[in-house]
């Protein structure tokens, strides 16, 4: 198992249960006790857990926006449910753009159960999930941003224009009553370019994204075909989505923890 996947599952367990022993984690994750102790040391250094004798406990607060790595540990159960529900919308042989948001990584893991896909992405982190099953995966070129394991910029946008897949799957920073938005100018620009080259737009967004303030517009709400979320929107937001003809899929099933 990749260290990032182990770290995600450790933090998810602690977020639910509060504390765990090294022995339990080692058995559940199929890893040695030494590996788990190193994982806990890394997570403790990053402020995501607190090491205690023989195990770890939940940190007082898990950061949500400081970095991509930390966003990977925010709202993990919700993101896993969204990813599972979103993957059910696709079938063998589909072609899609995929962006580099944190929820996209969970989606890529679920999507790997399909075969003969064509996936065009700027997310280097998605490659380890999608390389099997006879899938064809194209990593967009351009300037590499190590913090989020993604390519961005004018070269990336020029590269993606050679593709015309049926679908684009995006994670966004905010879902407002008239548009979907992001916090990063270059990421928003790349999302707009992907939308311009695809026919159907699927947005993955947990409930914390509803009405969240953000600056950079990606698309009018009417351009979104499907929104996959973990919780039904409030009545006003639900009306806005209905008026824009957005299909709302609320993820219900909670996948196994470990």
Residue 256, pLDDT score: 46
From the options 3.40.50.1360, 3.40.50.720, 3.20.20.60, 3.40.50.140, give the CATH code of 71-250: 3.40.50.1360
Q: Does domain 3-62 have CATH number 3.30.565.10?
A: no
> Alpha-carbon distance 247 to 232, whole Å?
12
In the DSSP assignment, the letter for residue 248 is E
Residue bearing the bigger pLDDT, 75 or 148: 148
Domains of the chain, by residue range, sit at 3-62, 71-250
> Alpha-carbon distance 258 to 26, whole Å?
11
Model confidence at 50, pLDDT cuts 50, 70, 90, reads confident
Residue bearing the bigger pLDDT, 241 or 54: 241
Q: Which of 112, 131, 120 is nearest to 95 (CA)?
A: 120
pTM equals 0.72
């Amino acid at each position: 198992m990749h260290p990032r996947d182990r770290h995600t599952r450790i933090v998810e367990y602690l977020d639910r249960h509060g504390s765990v022993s090294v022995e339990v984690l080692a058995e559940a994750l199929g890893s040695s006790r030494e590996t788990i102790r190193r994982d806990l040391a890394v997570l403790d250094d990053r402020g995501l857990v607190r090491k205690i004798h023989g195990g770890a406990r939940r940190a007082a607060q898990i950061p949500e926006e400081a970095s991509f790595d930390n966003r990977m540990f925010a709202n993990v159960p919700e993101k896993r449910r969204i990813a599972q529900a979103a993957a059910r919308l696709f079938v063998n042989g589909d072609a899609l753009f995929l962006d580099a948001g944190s929820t996209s990584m969970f989606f890529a893991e679920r999507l790997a159960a399909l075969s003969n896909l064509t996936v065009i992405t700027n997310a280097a982190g998605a490659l380890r999930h999608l390389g099997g099953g006879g899938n064809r995966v194209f990593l967009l070129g351009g300037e590499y941003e190590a913090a989020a394991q993604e390519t961005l910029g004018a070269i990336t946008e020029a590269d993606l224009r050679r593709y015309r897949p049926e679908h684009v799957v995006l994670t966004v920073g905010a879902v407002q009553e008239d548009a979907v938005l992001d916090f990063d100018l270059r990421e928003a620009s790349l999302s707009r370019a992907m939308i311009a080259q695809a026919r159907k737009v699927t947005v993955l967004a947990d409930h914390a994204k509803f009405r969240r303030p953000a600056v950079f517009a990606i698309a009018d709400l009417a351009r979104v075909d499907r929104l996959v979320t973990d919780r039904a929107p409030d009545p006003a937001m639900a009306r806005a989505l209905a008026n824009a003809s957005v299909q709302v899929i609320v993820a219900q099933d909670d996948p196994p923890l470990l």
